[in-house]
Amino acid sequence: MSKLARLLSILALFPALRLGVAQEEVYLKVTTPGVQRVVIALGELPLLAGGDPLVASRFLEALRSDLRQSAVMSLLSEEAARLVEVDPKNALLTRQRYRSVGAHFLLEGNLIASAGQLVAEVRLFDLASGEVAYSRRLQAAAPLAATMAHTLANELVRLLTGRTGPFLSRFAFISDRSGHKEVFLMRWDGSEVQQLTNHKSVALAPAWSPAGDWLVFTSFLSGRPQLYSLRPTEGFLKPISSLPGVNSSATLSPDGTRVAFAAGDGGNTDIYVVPVTGGTPERLTSSSAIETQPAWAPNGRQIVFTSSAAGSPQLYIMDVEGTNIRRLTFADTFADEAAWAPDGVRLAYTTLVEGRFQIAILDLRTMTRTVVAGPGNNESPCWSPDGSTLAFVSDRTGRHQIYVTDPEGIPRQLTSEGSNTSPAWVASVR
Amino acid sequence: MLRRLGNILVIAGLAAGALDLSACRRPKPVVAPELPPSGAATSAGAATAPTPLASTVREEPTVATAELPEGAVAAQELPADLAALNQAGYLADVYFDTNKHELRPDARQALAANASWLRAHRTVRILVEGHCDERNTEEYNLALGWRRAHAVKDYLVSLGVEASRIETLSLGEEKPFATCHEESCWWQNRRAHFVITAR
C-alpha cells in the first residue's frame, strides 16, 4: 500500500470514531419532545383600585416568565388567549371558552398593592373538572413582588408534579468578569447576576449549605488558599480552615453541620472534615496519593471523592468515618468532580473522552455509566435541587460558560460575560 | 493535499497523546525556551520564560559550597532590591511531565544548581510555587501544584538546604505563565517557580 493510501485509510476511520461518541447532546431527558405541558391560562387578575400598577406588573411579568420557562407548565399563547371572550356575568362560560382554546387550568384572582405591601388572592380552576384545584392568599413587601410570583409558580409546579419548581433557585458561581475570580450569584435562568466577593484575588469552588443561608468557598485572599464561609445576605466572611495545603473543594453534610474538604501538609492532599462552627479538622483519608473533591451523599453517611491512588484520578466512595473505601470508576481514564443527584442514586462527574472533558452519569444501583458528548470541554456538573436537570461548564464558545439543560436535556447557555465556572445550585437563598 | 493530510494526522496524534495522560513518557524539551514560539498567544508566556536551563545546568553544584563565602557576605553581592534579585534569575524554574510531580533528570540538575546557590546564600529565603497546565480540573490541579512544590522542596532539603528557608504554595492552574491552549504553552505552565522572599 502506498503511503498516501495508508494515510487515507487511517483517516477514513476518524469519521466513524467521531460518530461513535458524538451522538445528540442530550443530558437528562425529563420530558419527551412533543409531549404536552400543562397549559395555564392567566385570566383576570385585576389590581384593586388605588394600587400601585408598577408593583402589580412586576408580579405579573415574573409569573408569566416563570410559566413560559417551566418544564411542566406553559402559558396559554397570547393568540389563543385573544380568542377568549370573557363574560363577566358568566364565569362558567368563560372557563369553557378557555378550555376550548387549549387551556388545562385557569389562574385568576385579584391583586392589592398598597401601603408598601402586595397581596395576591389567586384561584386555579381545573378546566376539565371545573373544580378549584388551588386557592391561596400571598402577601409580601412590595419590593418582593417578583419573589412572590416565583413562590406561586413553585407551588403550581408542586401541585402538578409533587416536586418544588426551580423558580426561587439560584447559582453561586465563579466569574472573572471583574478582572479577578470572584464569587457571584444568579437566578436559575441566568438573570439577576450579583457579585458577592471583591477580594481581587482568586476565589474557587463555592458550595451551599443545604438551607441556602451560607456558602463555603476557597479564596487566596491571604495569599494562600483558605476556606471561608459567607452569608450572601449579610456579606459576613468567616474562616473555616487554614490548614496547610489547598483547603479546597468544600462540600456540606446534608444536615448542614459539617464541611468536608481537601487539604494536607507536605504536598499531600487528603479529605478532612470540620464542624461548621469551627474546631479541629479530622482527617478521613491517609493515602500518599492526591485525595480531593469530596461530595457528601444525600443520605449523609457516605462521601464520594477523587483519588490518584491508581495512577490517574478516579472516583472512590467511603463511609463518613473514612472507612470502607471502594473504587467506583474503572471505565474512565480520568474521573473527577463527582456530584450526587438528590436521589442519592446517580453521580454526575467529569470524564475524559478523546482528550476532552465530558459529563458522565453513573447509576450506583446498576453501576452503568452514560457519557454525554458535547462540543468542546464539558465539566463541573451540578444537579438542580429537584434532580431533574444538570448545569455544567463548557468552553464550546472559546471561553468557559455555565450551561443548564432544559427538560428535553438540551443545554442552554446561562452566562456570557467573562469566564464563568464552578456552578453550585441551591433551591433558594435565605 | 498530502501535506494537509499530514497536518491532520499530526493534530490527531497530538489529540491522542493528550488523551493518554497516564502514558506521558514522551520526550520533553530539556532546554525549554529553544522551542519555537507558536504565535501571538504564547508571546506573553515567552516573555516570562526562564533563562535557558542549559546555562545553569553547566554549573558544577557539588564543588560550590565549600569555596563560597558565608551567607552574610554573599548576600552583599546580590541586588539590594528583591524585585531586581528575582529578575536576575539566580534560581531556575523546573518543569514537569503531564499529570506528574516526579522530578525529571533536567529538573534534578537544575535543582542541584539551585541548592548549591542557596547553600552559598544562607540568608536567602524562598517560596516555591507549584503550577499546572489547564488540563485536569481546577481543584485537582490545586492539589497537583501543591505536590509539585513539595517535590521540589523535599529535593532541595535532601541537598542540604534548610527546610525552614523554603515556603511552598500551590497556584494550580490559576496563574499560567503562557495562555494558549496547546502543548507549546502547557509545558511552560507545568512548573515549580522560585520566588526569593528574603535576601
Same domain, A181 and A62: no
How much is the average pLDDT of B90-101? 96
Size of the A and B interface in Cβ pairs below 8 Å: 101
* Strand-pair partners of A304: A295, A317
Same domain, A286 and A344: yes
Sequence-distant (6+) residues with CB within 8 A of B177 are B45, B48, B49, B131, B188, B189, B191, B193
pLDDT classification of B82: cutoffs 50, 70, 90: very high
Dihedral over alpha carbons A132, A133, A135, A140 (to 10 degrees)? -150
Tell whether A245 lies on the interface with B, counting CB pairs under 8 A: yes
Q: Determine the Cα–Cα distance for residues A200 and A186; give it in Å rounded to an integer.
A: 20
Question: CA-nearest residue of chain A to B19?
Answer: A355
Same domain, A278 and A405: yes
Q: Determine the Cα–Cα distance for residues B50 and B90; give it in Å rounded to an integer.
A: 10
Q: Find cell 529565603 and name the residue.
A: B125
**Cβ proximity of B119 and B171 under 8 Å:** no
Q: Determine the Cα–Cα distance for residues A196 and A26; give it in Å rounded to an integer.
A: 32
Query: Which pLDDT value is given to residue A252?
Result: 97
- Average predicted confidence (pLDDT) for chain B: 74
Whether A256 maps to a domain, the answer reads: yes
Sequence-distant (6+) residues with CB within 8 A of B126 are B91, B118, B165, B166, B167, B194, B195, B196, B197
pLDDT digits 0-9 by tens, A113-125: 989 999 999 999 9
Query: Which pLDDT value is given to residue B61?
Result: 40
Q: Determine the Cα–Cα distance for residues A342 and A123; give it in Å rounded to an integer.
A: 32
* Strand-pair partners of B167: B127
pLDDT classification of A30: cutoffs 50, 70, 90: low
Same domain, A96 and A219: no
Query: Which pLDDT value is given to residue A232?
Result: 87
Question: CA-nearest residue of chain A to B99?
Answer: A312
How much is the average pLDDT of A226-251? 92
Given A135, A161, A187, which residue is the final one in a domain?
A: A161
Length of chain A: 430
Residue A225 has pLDDT above 50, yes or no: yes
Residue A15 has pLDDT above 80, yes or no: no
Same domain, A196 and A145: no
How much is the average pLDDT of A145-172? 93
**Cβ proximity of B131 and B171 under 8 Å:** yes
- Quote the minimal CA–CA distance from A310 to chain B in Å: 10
**Cβ proximity of B192 and B149 under 8 Å:** yes
DSSP symbols for A117-165: EEEEEEEEEETTT--EEEEEEEEEEGGGHHHHHHHHHHHHHHHHHSS--
Q: Find cell 541537598 and name the residue.
A: B159
Query: Which pLDDT value is given to residue A236?
Result: 83
Per the structure, the count of domains in chain A is 2
Q: Determine the Cα–Cα distance for residues B197 and B128; give it in Å rounded to an integer.
A: 10
pLDDT classification of A34: cutoffs 50, 70, 90: low
Length of chain B: 199
Looking at beta carbons, which pairs linking B11-16 to residues 24 or more positions away fall under 8 Å? B12/A14, B14/B182, B14/B183, B15/A354, B15/A355, B16/A355
CATH code for the domain of A60: 3.40.50.10070
- Average predicted confidence (pLDDT) for chain A: 91
Q: Determine the Cα–Cα distance for residues A65 and A1; give it in Å rounded to an integer.
A: 63
Residue A231 has pLDDT above 80, yes or no: yes
- Quote the minimal CA–CA distance from A262 to chain B in Å: 8
Query: Which pLDDT value is given to residue A415?
Result: 98
Among A267, A312, A336, the residue with its CB nearest the CB of B150 is A267
Query: Which pLDDT value is given to residue A88?
Result: 85
* Strand-pair partners of B95: B191
pTM: 0.81
How much is the average pLDDT of A269-297? 95
Same domain, A411 and A385: yes
Sequence-distant (6+) residues with CB within 8 A of B40 are none
Q: Determine the Cα–Cα distance for residues A384 and A427; give it in Å rounded to an integer.
A: 8
Whether A156 maps to a domain, the answer reads: yes
How much is the average pLDDT of B166-170? 98
Q: Which residues of B touch A380 (CB under 8 A)?
A: 137
pLDDT digits 0-9 by tens, A290-307: 999 999 999 999 999 999
Query: Which pLDDT value is given to residue B45?
Result: 37
pLDDT classification of A27: cutoffs 50, 70, 90: confident
- Quote the minimal CA–CA distance from A18 to chain B in Å: 12
Q: Which residues of A touch B153 (CB under 8 A)?
A: 267
Grid cell digits, residue A284 = 478521613
Residue B148 has pLDDT above 70, yes or no: yes
Show which residues on chain B lie within 8 Å of chain A, measured between beta carbons.
2, 5-6, 8-9, 12, 15-16, 18-22, 99, 101, 136-140, 142-144, 146-151, 153-154, 168-170, 172, 174
How much is the average pLDDT of A338-343? 96
Grid cell digits, residue B144 = 497537583
Domain that holds residue A400: 170-426
CATH code for the domain of A342: 2.120.10.30
Helix (H) or strand (E) holding A171, with range, is: strand A170-175
Given A128, A161, A194, which residue is the final one in a domain?
A: A161
Residue A332 has pLDDT above 60, yes or no: yes
Tell whether A11 lies on the interface with B, counting CB pairs under 8 A: yes
Of residues A184 and A388, more confidence is placed in: A184
Instruction: Show the CA angle centred on residue A143, arms to residues A139 and A147, nearest 5°.
Output: 60
Same domain, A150 and A50: yes
Whether A406 maps to a domain, the answer reads: yes
Tell whether A248 lies on the interface with B, counting CB pairs under 8 A: yes
- Quote the minimal CA–CA distance from A142 to chain B in Å: 42
- Taking CB atoms and an 8 Å limit, are B19 and A379 in contact across chains? no
Q: Determine the Cα–Cα distance for residues A202 and A330; give it in Å rounded to an integer.
A: 33
Whether A9 maps to a domain, the answer reads: no
Whether A3 maps to a domain, the answer reads: no
Query: Which pLDDT value is given to residue B150?
Result: 98
Grid cell digits, residue A149 = 410570583
Query: Which pLDDT value is given to residue B186?
Result: 95
* Strand-pair partners of A361: A348, A370
Whether A247 maps to a domain, the answer reads: yes
Same domain, A191 and A305: yes
Helix (H) or strand (E) holding B133, with range, is: none
Query: Which pLDDT value is given to residue B17?
Result: 37
- Quote the minimal CA–CA distance from B68 to chain A in Å: 31
- Quote the minimal CA–CA distance from A267 to chain B in Å: 4
Residue A352 has pLDDT above 90, yes or no: yes
Residue B2 has pLDDT above 90, yes or no: no
- Taking CB atoms and an 8 Å limit, are A248 and B139 in contact across chains? yes
Whether A90 maps to a domain, the answer reads: yes
Q: Which residues of A touch B170 (CB under 8 A)?
A: 225, 245-246
Residue B11 has pLDDT above 60, yes or no: no
Least confident stretch, A177-191, A281-295, B54-68:
B54-68
Same domain, A231 and A309: yes
How much is the average pLDDT of A202-206? 97
Strands (E), chain B: 94-95, 125-131, 166-172, 191-198
Same domain, A142 and A177: no
pLDDT classification of A217: cutoffs 50, 70, 90: very high
Q: Determine the Cα–Cα distance for residues B153 and A224; give it in Å rounded to an integer.
A: 17
**Cβ proximity of A401 and A153 under 8 Å:** no
Closest CA to B96 of B21, B45, B157: B21
Tell whether A306 lies on the interface with B, counting CB pairs under 8 A: yes
- Taking CB atoms and an 8 Å limit, are B139 and A205 in contact across chains? yes
Grid cell digits, residue B153 = 522542596
pLDDT over 70 for what percent of chain A? Answer: 93
* Strand-pair partners of A123: A108, A135
Q: Determine the Cα–Cα distance for residues A5 and A8; give it in Å rounded to an integer.
A: 5
Q: Determine the Cα–Cα distance for residues A428 and A418; give it in Å rounded to an integer.
A: 25
- Quote the minimal CA–CA distance from A104 to chain B in Å: 46
Question: CA-nearest residue of chain B to A352?
Answer: B19
Q: Which residues of B touch A290 (CB under 8 A)?
A: 140, 143-144, 147
Q: Which residues of A touch B136 (CB under 8 A)?
A: 313, 334, 336
Residue B120 has pLDDT above 60, yes or no: yes
Given A161, A187, A215, which residue is the final one in a domain?
A: A161
Burial class of residue A184, CB neighbours in 10 A (0-12, 13-18, 19+) = buried
Same domain, A150 and A192: no
Same domain, A147 and A176: no
Least confident stretch, A69-78, A134-143, A356-365:
A69-78
Interface test with A, best of B147, B150, B167, B175 (most A CBs within 10 A): B147
Among A249, A264, A334, the residue with its CB nearest the CB of B139 is A249
Closest CA to A428 of A381, A386, A391: A386
Whether A20 maps to a domain, the answer reads: no
ipTM of the complex: 0.86
Tell whether A34 lies on the interface with B, counting CB pairs under 8 A: no
* Strand-pair partners of A39: A74
Q: What domains lie within chain B, and their CATH numbers?
A: 42-198 (3.30.1330.60)
Among A8, A267, A333, the residue with its CB nearest the CB of B21 is A333
How much is the average pLDDT of A210-220? 95
